[in-house]
Amino acid sequence: MTIARVLSTGEVKPTPPPLTVPKEIPTVRAFSVTFLEQSRLVNKVSTYCANEMSFRLHINPTLGHLRLCDVTYAALVDFTLAMASAPRGRVSGRNCDKPLHPKTINNILKVFHRMLVIARKRKLLDELPEFEFLKVPVPPFRFFSLEEIDRILVAAAPRWRPMIALATRTGLRIGELIGLRWEDVYLDSQVLVVRQAITKGVLTTPKSGKPREVPLSDETAEILRSIQHTRGPFVFAKADGGHINQTRATEALRAACTAAKIAPAGWHTLRHSFASNLAESDTSLKAIQEMLGHSSIKETERYAHLRQHHLRASVIKLDRGNVAALWQRSPENLVTTLN
């Protein structure tokens, strides 16, 4: 319709809507490929590996055939119930008849939720289904006493003793220990800087995403001086100068625990031990947070209960030994009357 015709007749016809081709909605399995490609680019290696495992072992086998728009609240609840009741199957080469822990189930659901959020951003979903997460009890964490640490060090193979000792004296994560370089260790000023980590053989940044300084005691600095070498850049290096293998390090620590007649544990237990022993020695939670590299004090507050005995020690300072003189145990002092 021309402008002249509109002006002469006053007739206006609505413009027809453009023809649109409806998008083909991919299945969960198909879109998980896109999601994991993005995860590989933007997430740390450990996060990507956890995401990939969640889809490969849990999400895709159960929900992979559904289109994204067909993932309903009911489907999610059924999926959650199945994970909470079915045995895990093979774990570390052994059959496990226990279901997944609620925290693990929630982690899987969070990964799935994140994928659906991205699908909505790509206009593949109009709205997200409702997710319901499980209640997770706060788990008690394990740590070694100073006496247990000494027993583990004595029982450990000599080549692993320095690494175990450093873990218990600095709280470094296993990936940070493996990635620690001599150029980041300042023995004269007795401090090391955590600038990188090696996770599953891949070089990455520390978990917090930024470097942190960790002070070294006199004894810790002496331990590091005693193992200085020129085989390569890594403090804990193989014969060829390359970084050590995480699986091998875990096997060595567990063997040392067994030899010391202590229930085997992983390297993160040594990190807990560092923080716990500091808390018991009345170190402030803020200082522990900085040394551990926690992004939030909430993470560090798990160690707060270990400082409770110091609260009593604080109030004891108010005692001056004159209570007997001020308050005699007499009948009139045993009853308080409110008028």
Quickly state the pLDDT bin for 301 (edges 50, 70, 90).
confident
Out of 121, 156, 184, pick the residue that ends a domain: 121
Look at residue 22 in the predicted model and tell me its pLDDT. 56
Domain span at residue 101 reads: 28-121
User: 211 and 155: one domain?
Assistant: yes
Task: Find the mean pLDDT for residues 288-300.
Answer: 89
Non-local (6+) Cβ contacts of 339 within 8 A are none
In this structure, are 112 and 209 located in the same domain?
no
243 and 151 assigned to the same domain? yes
On whether residue 17 sits in a domain, the answer given is no
Q: What pLDDT is stored for residue 10 in this prediction? A: 55
In a domain, 140, yes or no: no
Q: 309 and 242, same structural domain?
A: yes
For residues 80 and 227, membership in a common domain is answered with no
Instruction: Tally the domains of the chain.
Output: 2
Same domain, 156 and 299: yes
Distance from C-alpha of 153 to C-alpha of 257, rounded to nearest angstrom: 9
Structural contact between residues 122 and 25, judged by C-beta atoms closer than 8 angstroms: no
Mean of the pLDDT values across residues 40-60? 94
pLDDT at 61: 97
Q: Same domain, yes or no, for 205 and 107?
A: no
Whether residue 168 sits in one domain with residue 64: no
Six-digit token string for 108: 């899987």
Q: Say which range, 65-79, 111-125, 308-322, has the weakest mean pLDDT.
A: 308-322
Structural domain contains residue 326: no
**Are 157 and 252 contained in the same domain?**
yes
Q: Are residues 161 and 98 in the same domain?
A: no
Give which of 229, 220, 164, 227 is closest to 192, Cα–Cα.
220
* 63 and 186 belong to one structural domain: no
Q: Residue 86: pLDDT band by 50, 70, 90 thresholds? A: confident
In a domain, 20, yes or no: no
pLDDT-based confidence at 98, cuts 50/70/90? Answer: confident
Portion of the chain with pLDDT greater than 70, in percent: 81
Lowest mean pLDDT across 26-30, 184-188, 329-333 = 329-333
Is residue 82 situated within a structural domain? yes
- Asked whether residue 209 carries a pLDDT value surpassing 50, the answer given is yes
| Dihedral angle computed from the Cα positions of residues 184, 49, 105 and 103, in that order, rounded to the nearest 10 degrees | -10
pLDDT in tens, 257-277: 999 999 999 999 999 999 999
Convert the pLDDT of each residue in 213-245 to its tens digit: 999 999 999 999 999 998 999 999 999 999 999
Residue 318's pLDDT band, with cuts at 50, 70 and 90, is: low
Is residue 335 situated within a structural domain?
A: no
SS (H, E, C) the chain: CCHHHHHHHCCCCCCCCCCCCCCCCCEHHHHHHHHHHHHHHHCCHHHHHHHHHHHHHHHHHHHCCCEHHHCCHHHHHHHHHHHHHCCCEEECCEEECCCCCHHHHHHHHHHHHHHHHHHHHCCCCCCCCCCCCCCCCCCCCCCCCHHHHHHHHHHCCHHHHHHHHHHHHHCCCHHHHHHCEHHHEECCCCEEEECCEEECCEEECCCCCCCEEEECCHHHHHHHHHCCCCCCCECCECCCCCECCHHHHHHHHHHHHHHCCCCCCCHHHHHHHHHHHHHHCCCCHHHHHHHHCCCCHHHHHHHHHHHHHHHHHHHHCCCCCCHHHHCCCCHHHHCCCCC
Same domain, 70 and 174: no
CATH code at position 247: 1.10.443.10
**Residue 223 resides in a domain:** yes
